[in-house]
Amino acid sequence: MIKVTVDQHSGFCWGVVRTIDIAEEELKESPELYSLGPVIHNPKEIARLRDKGLETVGHDDLARLAGKRVLIRAHGEPPSTYAAARAHGVTIVDATCPVVTRVQERIRKFHEQGFQVVIFGKKDHAEVIGLLGQTDNEAVVVRNVAEAEQVDPSRRTVLFSQTTMDKETFYAVADVLRTRIGELVVGTFEESAIDFHAKDTICGQVSGRDGKLREFARANDVMVFVAGKDSSNGKVLHGICREANPNTHFVEDERELQPGWFEGVSTAGVTGATSTPQWLMENVRKAIETMQEHTVITK
């Protein structure tokens, strides 16, 4: 008999919970609410909220939404978005994750002080676009060590991270920059201090799951990781899970499960990203139960 366990440390992070709560409270007042971009990187949860009246729109739609309420999702937005909303008479419902808001504020201060801002992240990710906006899009975005090696070493530099990136690569990038940007650079005619600062702004609820997730993955014969394919932290956490247990399978929902994954195993674990709702992981658990026709024990 197979034992299937849902990871008790998985599911929405508090920032996502807060955003969903704000959206649902707004929808109680009126079923007409717009989300600027997908409210969460999980198609199942988007569909659930769409049924309640939350419509996903893009930046080009702001011009037609005068007098309407538009939700800023947890990833945050650049200052230009708020300016556009004001210009078009749009009411902003700001659900930016407070962690992201603090990173935006810190980046803006360093930029104003003349620092070269380097962001470890994915250039096209919504959160990074918001962070770039704090620097008038002058910050340098790097995704790996090779790109960090191309950063201008002659300027005072501060390194920040997208909140959902992995710590290991962040510190590798920081080491490269620290090697290239010394504490003191002596020029031909004058001495000029060149400072480098590394600010670990990876969300604690993402990085803090590393150890527990590895432990959970190793404790099971097979792992099913549930997340939206566009989830940034989902990709990071799935990679961690797969490192700990190579017999790990990525699915968006229970329809992608394959019976062969569970043949000859006695334990299976179900986990997910910080954008994966608990109800979806429970659906996967129940589907495994039905598929295997075994009694399933959960957390």
Give residues with Cβ within 8 angstroms of 294, minimum separation 6.
1, 2, 4
In a domain, residue 109? The reply is: yes
In a domain, residue 31? The reply is: yes
In a domain, residue 297? The reply is: no
Domain boundary among 45, 63, 97: 97
Mean of per-residue pLDDT scores for the chain: 89
My answer on whether 103 and 144 are in the same domain is yes
**pLDDT (0 to 100) of residue 233:** 79
7: domain range? 3-11+206-292
Q: Catalytic residues, which ones? A: 127
In a domain, residue 47? The reply is: yes
Helix axes 209-218, 232-244, angle to 10 degrees: 40
Q: Which of 127, 169, 168 is nearest to 146 (CA)?
A: 169
CATH code at 47? 3.40.50.11270
My answer on whether 251 and 266 are in the same domain is yes
172 vs 119: CA distance, rounded Å: 13
Measured in residues, the chain has a length of 299
In a domain, residue 221? The reply is: yes
DSSP assignments along 78-130, one per residue: -HHHHHHHHHTTPEEEE---HHHHHHHHHHHHHHHTTPEEEEES-TTSHHHHH
In a domain, residue 115? The reply is: yes
pTM given for the model: 0.79
In a domain, residue 155? The reply is: yes
My answer on whether 196 and 111 are in the same domain is yes
159 vs 229: CA distance, rounded Å: 28
CB atoms within 10 A of CB 66: 12
91 vs 137: CA distance, rounded Å: 25
Q: For residue range 152-211, list pLDDT tens digits in order.
A: 998 989 999 998 888 889 999 999 999 988 643 344 333 445 678 888 887 776 666 788
Q: How many domains does the chain have?
A: 3
Segment (H or E) for 33: strand 33-36
My answer on whether 58 and 144 are in the same domain is no
Domain boundary among 97, 128, 150: 97
My answer on whether 127 and 190 are in the same domain is yes
Token duo for residue 295: 């009694």
In a domain, residue 299? The reply is: no
129 vs 114: CA distance, rounded Å: 20
My answer on whether 28 and 113 are in the same domain is no
My answer on whether 93 and 111 are in the same domain is no
Q: What is the pairing mode between strands 69-72 and 91-94?
A: parallel
Q: For residue range 97-148, list pLDDT tens digits in order.
A: 999 999 999 999 999 999 999 999 999 999 999 999 999 999 999 999 999 9
CATH code at 272? 3.40.1010.20
**pLDDT (0 to 100) of residue 194:** 62
> pLDDT confidence of 25, banded at 50, 70, 90?
very high
My answer on whether 19 and 69 are in the same domain is yes
Residue 265 has pLDDT above 80, yes or no: yes
Mean pLDDT, range 23-29, rounded to an integer: 95
My answer on whether 140 and 210 are in the same domain is no
